[in-house]
Amino acid sequence: MCQLAAPSRIPENPADVRSLEQLRVFVHVALCRKENLLEHHFPMSELELRQNGTRCGYQFVLHGPRSVKLAAVWSSASNEVLLYDATGNRYGRIRLPHKVA
């Protein structure tokens, strides 16, 4: 499960994301804001995606109230985050200008 960083360390825009921890926090905040959820009240799980034994991205799932789940997928190849709402429809694509380490 992910923990939300201290408010002073929350990346506000994609250009601030440079590490995996910053990516986690950025995605958590983006998903919470989609449904106006309080960021400190809902956990997020993650799954490392692998292709031929090599990490190729992460899937993040925010576990909201009443079994609501929002998701995001980060692709390391394209360095972008795809955001999905509770119905599974993609509502956003965010390109990260800096490679996530």
Per residue in 11-62, pLDDT (tens digit) is 778 888 999 999 999 999 999 999 999 988 999 999 999 999 999 999 999 9
* Residue 3 forms part of a structural domain: no
* Residue 8 forms part of a structural domain: no
Q: What single letter denotes the amino acid at residue 35?
A: E
Query: Residue 44 and residue 86: Cα distance in Å, rounded?
Result: 14
* Residue 100 forms part of a structural domain: no
Give the start-end residues of each E strand in the chain: 44-51, 54-63, 69-75, 80-84, 90-95
* Residue 7 forms part of a structural domain: no
* Residue 73 forms part of a structural domain: yes
Contacts of 1 (CB under 8 A, 6+ apart): 43, 44, 45
* Residue 47 forms part of a structural domain: yes
What domain range is 59 assigned to? 14-95
| pTM of the entire predicted model | 0.86
Work out how many domains the chain is built from and give that number: 1
Cα separation of the two ends of the chain:
19
